[in-house]
Structure 1
């Protein structure tokens, strides 16, 4: 498919150039027009018409591909939602019929795994909507979102020492995307800390801080943290794309993003919300 697009675009360039040159030749030598301004204008009009037609032909297969991909993604999301809800419902029923401690532990593990699947589902749904530029902007108290994410994160990271200090702050943002920003920053803090990790989250007036006491970074590493696929420690599992996504979200929503770090002392990420209403 992409090969045909490349051929079509190359043809667009060649044909448009040929039409422009031919138009100048015909207007001057065949029609005998001596005014070069008129010659260029007529030639340009014909070249633009030919370019527009060829551009539509070139983009058509690409548009069809993305339309098909969008439909496939929506259908896949719908199919994923059904088994997740089925597992969740059955886990809740099993909790009522099983009373021994071993069964409860197993059901808790299943519940946590389903929770992670739900998060990935929501993330995929968010990424698809963002790609189609249909983010849902809403007004909410950031404290509510932080507390919601902390319920999930505490269940996921049971050995983390949490230090939380939050004060109310109303914002107008894409809620799901902001939740992903919080999750990513906390996960990075846990990932790059020795066990037990110590995570400090504070929200006061226009500033949200998410800090850890992990391995930290030097100045050279700090310069590369937003590069796609860059990882401070390649021995730690991950894809190295998280902070790049965080930065793009913050730039899009006019959130100031500042990262400070010291080797052996930890990293602190500050989000400035001054420009948000």
Structure 2
């Protein structure tokens, strides 16, 4: 596909140059126009018209490719939604007939796995909409989102000690994207902490603080944390794109992002939301 785009762009360059030269020759030698200002103006108009037409032709393969990719992504998401709902519904039915502890624990693990799949489904749906600039801006209470995410994450990380203090805070932004930002920051704190980590989360004066007591980062690492695919510890799971996405989200919605860290002491991330009227 990209090979055809390269050929189309090369053809565009050669054709536009040829039209420009032919236009100058026709106006100067055939029509006998000697004013170079007029010649330059006419040549510019010809070039713009030809370039616009040829550019549309050149970009068509690329547009078709992305349209196909978007359709495929939406169809895949639709297909994923059905088995997730089927798993959840059947687990609820099995709970009515299986009451022993072993069965209930197994069903709980299945529920958590299905919930994780649902989260990935929502994330993919969000990313597709984001690429199409169809993010939904909502007015909501930030405390509710934090409480919702903590309930979900607590089920995934039962060994974590949560120290939570939340005040009410109304914000205007993309709710789904913000949930992904919060998930990423909390999961980073858990991932880079000891086996029984303590995660402190506070919401006060329009500032969300997410702090851990993990391995922390040195000054060199802090300089690269927003670089895409950068990882402080290559043995950890993930692809090193989380903080890059967090930074892009914060920049988009005017959220001040502050990260402080000390090696072997822990990391604290703060999201500072704009106050009303500011």
Name 1:233's counterpart in structure 2: 233
Map 1:148-187 onto structure 2 (within 5 A): 148-187=148-187
Match of 1:214, SS? coil
Query: In structure 1, what is the equivalent of residue 16 of structure 2?
Result: 16
SS class of match (1:194): coil
- Residue 276 of structure 1 and its aligned partner are, at CA, apart by 6.4
Matching residue of 2:130: 130
Query: Is 1:172–1:276's contact at 8 Å kept on the other side of the alignment?
Result: no
Question: CA offsets, 1:95-136, max 9 Å, x none?
Answer: 010011100010000000001000000000000000000001
Q: How does 1:18-33 map to 2 (within 5 A)?
A: 18-33=18-33
* Cα distance in 2 for residues equivalent to 1:159 and 1:171: 31
Verify the 8 A CA contact 1:160 1:199 in the aligned structure 2.
Answer: yes
In the aligned structure 2, how far is the partner of 1:26 from the partner of 1:153?
A: 72
Between the aligned partners of 2:26 and 2:257, the Cα distance in structure 1 is 59
The separation in 1 between residues aligned to 2:6 and 2:143, in whole angstroms, is 49
1:29: how far off? 2.3
Deviation, structure 1 residue 37: 1.0
Q: Distance in 1 between matches of 2:136 and 2:264?
A: 40
Instruction: Tell me the secondary structure at the aligned position of residue 223 of structure 1.
Output: helix
1:60 equivalent in alignment to 2:57:
no
Computed over aligned residues only, the root mean square deviation of the Cα atoms, in angstroms, reads 1.1
Q: Give the structure 2 partner of residue 139 of structure 1.
A: 139
* Deviates further, 87-96 or 62-71: 62-71
Task: Give the deviation of 1:275 after TM superposition.
Answer: 5.5
Q: Paired residue for 1:51?
A: 51
Describe the SS at the equivalent of 1:228: coil
Instruction: Indicate whether 1:242 and 2:254 are aligned.
Output: no
For 2:61 and 2:275, the matched residues in 1 are separated by: 41
Map of 1:258 onto structure 2: 258
- Partner Cα distance (2:220, 2:259) in 1: 13
Q: What residue is the counterpart of 1:90 in the other structure?
A: 90
1:16-41 deviations in Å (ceiling 9; x for gaps): 12222222222222222111111011
Equivalent position SS for 1:268: strand
Does the 8 Å CA contact 1:254/1:276 hold for their aligned counterparts? no
DSSP 3-state at the match of 2:215 = coil
Q: Which residue of 1 aligns with 2:221?
A: 221
CA distance 1:276–1:76, shift in 2 (3 Å): farther
- Structure 2 length normalisation: TM-score? 0.97
Report the equivalent of 1:40.
Answer: 40
Tell me how far apart the structure 2 counterparts of residues 46 and 3 of structure 1 sit (CA, whole Å).
28
Give, in whole Å, the separation in 2 of the partners of 1:115 and 1:230. Answer: 28
Q: Deviations over 1:64-84 (max 9, x none)?
A: 111111111111111110110
SS of 1:196's partner is coil
Q: Does the C-alpha gap of structure 1 residues 270 and 276 become closer, same or farther in structure 2, counting only changes over 3 Å?
A: farther
Corresponding residue number in structure 2 for 1:271 = 271
CA shift for structure 1 position 161: 0.9
